[in-house]
Structure 1
Amino acid sequence: MDSTTHQFYHIHGWDSRDDLDLYYSNKEDMVFANDTLKFPMESLHYHLNSGQVKGTFMIDISAGSFIHHLLSASNCFQKIIILKLQEKCIMEVTRWLHDRTGAYDWTHASGAAAVLEGTREQLQETEMRLRSSVKQILKCDFEQEDITSPVQLPLADCIISALILESISKNEDEYMKNLEKILKMLKCGGQLLLFGLVDSTYKTVKGKRIHRFKCNEEFVKNALGKLGLVIDYYAVKTRSNVSDLTDYRAVLFIVAHKGE
């Protein structure tokens, strides 16, 4: 299928519940668990508990409505603000944060986080900690120079960005511009925790193909360097599933800090 027929996350949106069921759920036919759940959660847990992360304020800007990657982050940051491009994603996350009827069931992720922390029996406490740490969910817009305008946020000690850049960028120039807008929210010396996909051109949600900008490891590392980031840690996990729902080759995790 020609990529010009793909829909764009930031323009068309997607069905947030179908996205969660297909790529992040505990369903028996969900084949992506090692790549979308285990790898991100383990990577963040071990990095955030390394003692290298400093500060109290984190911004999360990630595609879709998943929250599992923030369960370990709430152990380190007292204040987390979540940025989303789509109202449906804001509504989905808000339902879970306020424990409302119909909220997505993340107990499989909360249980995994509790095991990583050595508190297997304290699943509810793990969820409550994250709910307490998230102070606000804001809509953002990458068409603006300041993506949170008119709201002005303090510079973050840490930013998590997961799968957003390849979802909203059509080419290398747009990727660089969008990355630069994210980095404007990060204080000097602050850390960027970046999750991306290698050689992905699409994902399928509700039967529709959603665009992804195809990029490799070297492009991402060079992009960070050009914008003044120093890479502290870098890992690539080769794809471990078989499915035509999406075509990525590997999952990328980079930890980098913003130069003084």
Structure 2
Amino acid sequence: MMDSKTHKVYHVHGFDSRQYLEHYFSDKPGMVFGDDFLNFLIDNLRQVFAVGQINGDILIDLSTGSFIHHLYSACEFFKNIIVLKVNNRCIMELKRWVDERTGAFYWGHTSTLLKEKEENSDQFEDKDGKLRSAIQHIVNYNLEKENMTDPLVLPPADCVISAWLLDVISKNQDDYIRYLRKFSGLLKPGGHLIIIGVLDATFFTVGKDKLHVFRYDESFARKVLVGEGFIIDYCKVKERTAVSDIADYKAVIFIAAHKEK
């Protein structure tokens, strides 16, 4: 196995955003991650939003790649969604979908999956259009700047969602805490944070590139959030079901928390 020190780093080296989607989120035969990365995420987001406490004007999304399936549920509860991306290829990929341009990644399988889960499928009409309208801005960011989106100053968010990003930008525990603190700084007092990650992982593969993943467990994730002033409202861990050697995670974790005022 390649030494972890030689793995590429997501926000430094980037990756092929389309291959990432094909490997982990597509409906193609042989894509084995549907249960872990599609179903698990969609089901838990629907559950935490259904409680009715996570809503508002602004949601900021800080996630890897250019996937959008996790935002279908969010657009029902937030007027405006701001998506932050560090990789220009991911920005172009996402804009291709938002602008309905030729060659955009196909998300019909997730739309169908969500429709099947809705109690009243009639309310699901034109979910794609609603999400496209909700995504107001797609913004580049720099993790090393005090204001990540400088010179743009973002309005405080009611909620921040971050899927798998902390895992791949953090080299160690100190990095994880530092970046989590940056994400937390985007929230209003009392705002909500939703974190999705993988446990006991060291790498994931996109095409020929093997990329670094920071290895941690559920106890660490909980401890860090509490240490940063969050109250954990919901936490689910799902043991891995995907059989593939392109990523070595052991489980997927979903945490929803709110910041103490």
Pick the TM interval, shorter chain: over 0.9
SS in 1 for 2:66: coil
Report the AA paired with residue 32 of structure 1. F
Report the AA paired with residue 46 of structure 2. H
CA distance in 1, matches of 2:76, 2:165: 23
Report the AA paired with residue 15 of structure 2. W
* Residue 23 (structure 1) aligns with: 24
Q: How does 1:241-252 map to 2 (within 5 A)?
A: 241-252=242-253
- Quote the offset at 1:119 in angstroms: 4.7
SS in 1 for 2:155: coil
* Residue 209 (structure 2) aligns with: 208
Establish whether residue 182 from structure 1 lines up as the match of residue 188 from structure 2: no
1:156-180 CA-partner distances (Å, limit 9, x unpaired): 0011010000111101111111110
Q: Indicate if the aligned counterparts of 1:84 and 1:90 stay in contact, CA closer than 8 A.
A: yes
Report the AA paired with residue 259 of structure 2. K
1:225-254 CA-partner distances (Å, limit 9, x unpaired): 111111011110000111100000100000
* Residue 37 (structure 1) aligns with: 38
Q: TM-score scaled by structure 2?
A: 0.97
Establish whether residue 90 from structure 1 lines up as the match of residue 91 from structure 2: yes
SS in 1 for 2:93: helix
- Quote the offset at 1:122 in angstroms: 6.8
CA distance in 1, matches of 2:195, 2:59: 13
Establish whether residue 68 from structure 1 lines up as the match of residue 69 from structure 2: yes
CA distance in 1, matches of 2:44, 2:63: 16
CA distance in 1, matches of 2:18, 2:121: 27
Aligned CA-pair RMSD = 1.1
- Please say which of residues 48-57 and 136-145 is displaced more in the overlay: 48-57
* Residue 143 (structure 1) aligns with: 144
CA distance in 2, matches of 1:166, 1:212: 5
* Residue 58 (structure 2) aligns with: 57
CA distance in 2, matches of 1:135, 1:222: 34
CA distance in 1, matches of 2:44, 2:182: 25
CA distance in 1, matches of 2:124, 2:110: 9
Sort the Cα spacing of 1:212 and 1:255 in 2 relative to 1 into closer, same or farther, 3 A. same
Q: Indicate if the aligned counterparts of 1:62 and 1:164 stay in contact, CA closer than 8 A.
A: yes
- Quote the offset at 1:53 in angstroms: 1.3
Structure 2: any 5+ residue segments left out of the alignment?
none
Q: What is the aligned-residue identity percentage?
A: 45
- Quote the offset at 1:54 in angstroms: 3.1
Q: Indicate if the aligned counterparts of 2:203 and 2:247 stay in contact, CA closer than 8 A.
A: yes
CA distance in 2, matches of 1:178, 1:117: 35
Q: How many residues align?
A: 260
CA distance in 2, matches of 1:7, 1:58: 30
* Residue 256 (structure 1) aligns with: 257
CA distance in 1, matches of 2:83, 2:139: 6
* Residue 4 (structure 2) aligns with: 3
Q: Indicate if the aligned counterparts of 1:8 and 1:210 stay in contact, CA closer than 8 A.
A: yes
* Residue 239 (structure 1) aligns with: 240
Q: Indicate if the aligned counterparts of 1:114 and 1:126 stay in contact, CA closer than 8 A.
A: no
Structure 1: any 5+ residue segments left out of the alignment?
none
CA distance in 2, matches of 1:229, 1:244: 35
SS in 2 for 1:78: strand
